[in-house]
A = this chain, B = another copy of it.
Amino acid sequence: MANLGPGRPRLEQRRRQGTTPRAEILDAAAELFTTKGYANTSTRAVADAVGIRQASLYHHFGAKDDILDALLAETVAGPVELAQRMIGEPEAAATKLYALALFDVRQLRSARWNLGALYLLPELRTERFAAFRRRRDELRGHYERLTAESCSAAGQSDEVRILPFRLVETVIAIRSDEGTAAAETERVIPDAIMRIVGHRGEVGAAADALLARLGEIDIDPA
């Protein structure tokens, strides 16, 4: 219980998913932000949902926007790490693009809460979230580079450069509208991206092998 906070006893038994108080706070906040709305959720409501005192919450996060920032970071940490690991690997750009899209769709559709729904919050355009925006722009840059290289290899213009990143993130809208994104989305979206970049031939197996070789990527920094 060393991480529990300033020594006060809990009000109740733990009721959240997560192995640390910090993880429990993030899980509760993620649920409330995505189901009630960010502006509609107070740090008091988050503390209540965890079953801790508000003072204990402030031991872990200085303010509500610090919680949001930590949650948003989780949504891009995994794919950014993967994209960096793929640089210098021998596979063709299209294989890397397929692998990145597959990994990213998978984590967006299987994350416990649909945190990407928070990307459109006006609050994210403030200076407070500049570091997160840069991180997401870094991910977008990896997608655009791999897309441009894939288009070039297929002998076509790269006017579609911005689309694969956007198509992957449609998982967020699908989850928001339908509750879940079907498992087949994990293949349907990367396959559609291959068509968009003009790539012919199977890449799924090579992308799976690349992902297996690069190892597990921990996308939970909590």
A166–B160 Cα distance when bound, in Å, is 16
Which bucket holds chain A's interface residue count? Answer: 20 to 34
Residues of B within 8 A of A198 (CB): 195
Contact of A37 among B119, B122, B174, B176 (CB under 8 A): B122
Give the Cβ gap from A196 to chain B, nearest Cβ, in Å.
5
Contact of A121 among B37, B173, B188 (CB under 8 A): B37
Residues of B within 8 A of A166 (CB): 167, 170, 173-174
Residues of B within 8 A of A36 (CB): 122
Nearest residue (CB) in B for A168 is B170
A120 touches B195 (CB 8 A): no
Given contacts A160-B188, A188-B163, A195-B196, A35 and B122 within 8 Å (CB-CB): yes
The digit string for A115-129, where 1 denotes a CB below 8 A from any CB of B, is 001011111000000
For window 144-202 of A, CB contacts with B under 8 Å fall at: 159-160, 162-163, 166-167, 169-170, 172-174, 176, 184, 188-189, 191-192, 195-196, 198
Give the Cβ gap from A158 to chain B, nearest Cβ, in Å.
10
State the A residues within 8 Å of B (CB). Answer: 34-40, 117, 119-123, 159-160, 162-163, 166-167, 169-170, 172-174, 176, 184, 188-189, 191-192, 195-196, 198
Give 20 pairs: A residue, B residue, CB < 8 Å, sorted on A.
A34-B122, A36-B122, A37-B38, A37-B121, A37-B122, A40-B122, A120-B172, A159-B184, A159-B188, A160-B188, A163-B170, A163-B188, A163-B189, A166-B174, A167-B167, A167-B170, A169-B173, A170-B170, A192-B196, A196-B196
